[in-house]
A and B are shown apart, each in its own frame.
Chain A
Amino acid sequence: MQGPRRIPRVDLLATLAHEASEMNKPTEAITSVKRRAGLGARLLRTRETGIIGALLIMVLALSIFAPNFASIDNILNDTRNLSFVGIVVLGQAAVMITGGIDLSVGSVWGLSAVASAAMMQAGMGVVPACVLTLLIAASVGLFNGFCVTKLRMLPFVPTLATMSIARALALVITRGKAIDGFRPDGDAFFALGGGDILGLPTPFVIFVILAIIAGVVLKRSVYGRQLYAVGGNERAAMLTGLDVDRLKISVYVMSSVLAGLAGIIEVSYLSSAISNQGLGKELSVIAAAVIGGTALSGGEGTVIGVFVGTVILEVLRNGLILLGTDAYWQGVFVGSVIVFAVFIDQLRKGVWRRR
C-alpha cells in the first residue's frame, strides 16, 4: 500500500523504467549472464538461502535448549500442525505474487469446515460433500476476484468483506452448535487429517505434494511466469496482451479452494466443526508468506520460500511452548520475527541503498 499507485501521464515513461529496474526477476540466472558466478556464490545470493539459514539456526538452538525438540515425535507433530496453514499459504502466495492479498482465507476455512461437516451429518457421502464444499469455496474466491478485477477494488476491501460474510454464513450453518457425529467410526475420512502415509502425517504429505505442484507451476509453466509478470508490472503485462483479469481471478479462486481444503482436512482430524474454525488464521498465513520472501507489492515469492516460512513459524511457536515461555512473550516473539525476517530480506536486496 505504500508507494505511488497513481501514475500521472507525464511520469509514465520514467516510472515504467524505474519499476522495471526494481522488478526482481524470479530466476537469478538472467541477471548474471555476463559474469556467470559459481554455483556456490549463486546459491548464497538466492533469497531462500537467508531464511533456510535462519531456520537451521533456530532448529539448532532449540535442539540444544528446548527439551525434546529434536525428537522424532515432536518433529512429526510439527509437520502435521503446520500443514493446514501451509496448504493455505500456497494459495496466498500466488495471490500476493500478483500484487494482491486475500484476507478471507480464515473465514473460508471455517465456512468449509462447517459446510462439509453439516453436509456429512445430513447424510451426504464424504466425496460429494467435500466436492460441493470446495465449489462453495471457489465461488467465494470468484467473488473476490471479480471485485478486484471488474470492480477495480483494492484487494484489501472485498476480501475484508468476504471475511465477514463467510464467517456469517458459517454461523448460520452451525446455528451456534458444534457439528459432530458425522464420521462413522474408524473410516477413511479420518485418515485424511489424522492418519499417516509411510510414517509421515497425511496432511503433511498432501502439503508437500501440493507444494511441489505449485513450485513447478510457478517456476516452469507459462502460467507461472504470467503471474510474476502481472505482479511485477501490471501495466506492462497488460500491454503485452496478457489477460490480467483472468489471471487474477484464477489466483483468488485458488486461494479460497486451498483454504477450503485446509478446513476440510482439519475437520477430518478434529471430528467436530465449530463456527470459529480458522479464526485468525489469515494473519498466520500472511506472516508465513512474508517471512518466506513474498512481497506485498507483488512480483516476488517462491514456493520454497513460503514453505520454509511456514516451517519457521511453526518451529518458533513450538519452540516457545517447549521452552515453557509465558503466553504473552510468544506474541512479542512472533511479531518481532516477522519484522526481522522482512528486514533481513530488505537487507539482502539492498533496498535502501538505492534512495
Chain B
Amino acid sequence: MKVVLQTTLLVASAALASGAWAAGKPLAKECGPNNDYVIGFSQANFKEPYREHVNHELERLVKNYPKFKLVIADGQATVNTQVSQVENFMTQHVDLLMISPFEAAPLTPSVSAAYKAGVPVIELDRKTSGDNYTAFVGGDNRAIAKEAGEWAAKTLLPDGGEAAILEGLPSSSPAIERLEGFKAGIASNPKIKLVAVQPVDWMEDQAVTVFSAMLQAHPDIKLVYTSNDLAAAGAYIAAKQAGKADQVKIIGTDGLPGPSGGIRAVADGQWAATFTYPTGAAQALELAKKILIDCATEVPRNILVPTQRIDQANAKSLYGKEKF
C-alpha cells in the first residue's frame, strides 16, 4: 500500500511539474525577436482567384514583419502534390507551417507529423481533421452562405420567386458547404423556389455559358447565388446579354477588391451584394508573430473571421478604401 501511495504521489507530482513546465513552454522551439524565421505556406492551388487573393494579401502584409521570410508553395489542386510540399517544408525545417489544405483527410497525416515534430501549424481557411494544429484562422463557408440565403429570403426576394445557384468545383469542400449553406438560408422563405443548380468550377467563362442556358430554360429567374466573384461576373454578362440585368439579382462570394472584383460590381449596381470571405491573412501573420517573436505559450485556437455583406449601402465607400 505504501509503495502504491508513494508511486502515485510521485507520478502525480511529476505530472503536475511537467504540466506546469509545459504550460510555460513557448509554442515554437526557437523563438525570440532576434532570429530570422522562414514560414512555409502550402496553398491548396493557385488556380482559384480567391486563393491568388490570399497569396497576395500574405505577400503584401508580410512586408510588415521584417524577420519573416514567406515561401508559398502551389499544391496544384492535387493532394499528392500538396502532401509532398508539406513534407518538403519539413525537410527544409521551416519555422512555422501555414496551410490551406486542398482536402482535409489526405493532408492530416503529414500536417500532424509536422505538428508533432514541434513545428507550429496555422491552418488558413480550411482545417485538417483532428486536433493536430496550433491554430485555425478562417471563415465558416456554411454560415456565410446561410447568411446570404437568409438575407436574400428576407430582403431581396421577400415575395418569393425562382432562384438558381452556380456552384464551385463539385466535390470540393467550399463548394459543397456554400451550396448547402445557401439552400438552408433560403429555406426560411418557402416562396423562393430553387429551379437550377449547376457547377461552373469557379470559372467565369463557364458561368456565362451555364447561366445563359439557365435563363433560357427558366426565364423567370429572379435570384442567382454564385460561389465566387468570378462566377458572379459571368452571370452578370449572361444576364445582360439576355436583357435581364434588371430582373436578376446576383449575389457573389469573396468580395475581392480591384476593378474586376465583387466590391466594384456591387458599387456599380451590377450585383445585389457580395459576401466577403476574408482571407485571414492579417490574423494569421499576427499569430505567427506571437508564436515566433513573442514566444507565446498559447494562442487562441480558432479565430473565426467574420464575413461582411457588401451591398448598395456600403459598396461605394468600401471600394474607395480597398483599392490597392
Residues of A within 8 A of B (CB): 66-69, 71, 73-74, 77, 80-81, 171, 176-178, 180-181, 194, 266, 269-272, 274-277, 317-318, 321-324, 327-328
Residues of A within 8 A of B260 (CB): 178, 180-181, 271-272
Residues of A within 8 A of B218 (CB): 67
Q: Is the CB of B216 within 8 A of A68?
A: yes
Residues of B within 8 A of A194 (CB): 237
Residues of B within 8 A of A (CB): 46-47, 49, 52, 55-56, 170, 196, 198-199, 203-205, 208-210, 212-214, 216-219, 230, 233-234, 237-238, 241-242, 258-260
26 contacts between A and B (CB under 8 A): A67-B216, A68-B216, A73-B241, A74-B213, A176-B55, A176-B56, A178-B52, A180-B258, A181-B258, A181-B260, A266-B205, A270-B204, A270-B205, A271-B260, A272-B230, A272-B260, A274-B49, A274-B204, A275-B47, A277-B205, A318-B209, A321-B210, A322-B216, A327-B170, A327-B198, A328-B170
Bound-state CA distance A131–B216 (Å) is 37
Q: Is the CB of B216 within 8 A of A178?
A: no
Q: Is the CB of B204 within 8 A of A77?
A: no
Q: Which 7 A-B pairs have the closest CB atoms?
A: A180-B260, A181-B259, A321-B213, A272-B260, A74-B216, A68-B216, A77-B212
Residues of A within 8 A of B198 (CB): 321, 327
Q: Is the CB of A68 within 8 A of B237?
A: no
Q: Is the CB of B203 within 8 A of A69?
A: no
Residues of A within 8 A of B46 (CB): 171, 176, 275
Bound-state CA distance A323–B205 (Å) is 20
Q: Looking at the complex, which one of B203, B209, B234, B258 makes contact with A276 (CB distance below 8 Å)?
A: B203
- 14 A-B pairs besides A67-B217, A73-B242, A77-B212 with CB distance below 8 A are A66-B217, A67-B218, A69-B216, A71-B216, A73-B216, A77-B213, A180-B260, A181-B260, A270-B205, A270-B233, A275-B46, A321-B198, A323-B217, A327-B199
Residues of A within 8 A of B238 (CB): 77
A68-B217, A276-B47, A276-B203 known; A180+B259 contact, CB < 8 A: yes
Closest to A67 in B: B217
Q: Is the CB of A272 within 8 A of B233?
A: yes
Bound-state CA distance A68–B52 (Å) is 38
Bound-state CA distance A180–B55 (Å) is 18
Closest to B202 in A: A276
Minimum CB–CB distance from B171 to chain A (whole Å) comes to 10
Bound-state CA distance A323–B214 (Å) is 9
Q: Is the CB of B205 within 8 A of A321?
A: no
Minimum CB–CB distance from A267 to chain B (whole Å) comes to 10
Minimum CB–CB distance from A313 to chain B (whole Å) comes to 12
Q: Is the CB of B52 within 8 A of A177?
A: yes
Minimum CB–CB distance from A260 to chain B (whole Å) comes to 16
Closest to B238 in A: A77
Minimum CB–CB distance from B254 to chain A (whole Å) comes to 12
Minimum CB–CB distance from A198 to chain B (whole Å) comes to 17
Minimum CB–CB distance from B56 to chain A (whole Å) comes to 7
Closest to B55 in A: A176
Q: Looking at the complex, which one of B56, B217, B234, B258 makes contact with A322 (CB distance below 8 Å)?
A: B217
Most buried by A among B49, B213, B258: B213
Residues of A within 8 A of B234 (CB): 270
Closest to B219 in A: A68
Bound-state CA distance A270–B233 (Å) is 8
Most buried by B among A80, A178, A328: A178
Residues of A within 8 A of B47 (CB): 275-276
Residues of B within 8 A of A272 (CB): 204, 230, 233, 260
Residues of B within 8 A of A271 (CB): 260
Bound-state CA distance A269–B204 (Å) is 11
Residues of B within 8 A of A277 (CB): 205
Residues of A within 8 A of B49 (CB): 178, 274
Minimum CB–CB distance from B92 to chain A (whole Å) comes to 21
Closest to B52 in A: A176
Closest to B167 in A: A327
Q: Is the CB of A177 within 8 A of B56?
A: yes
Bound-state CA distance A73–B260 (Å) is 26
Q: Is the CB of A81 within 8 A of B217?
A: no
Bound-state CA distance A322–B209 (Å) is 11
Bound-state CA distance A266–B230 (Å) is 15
Bound-state CA distance A268–B198 (Å) is 25
Most buried by A among B56, B212, B218, B242: B212
Bound-state CA distance A324–B194 (Å) is 12
Q: Is the CB of B258 within 8 A of A178?
A: yes
Closest to A75 in B: B216
Closest to A174 in B: B52
Minimum CB–CB distance from A180 to chain B (whole Å) comes to 4
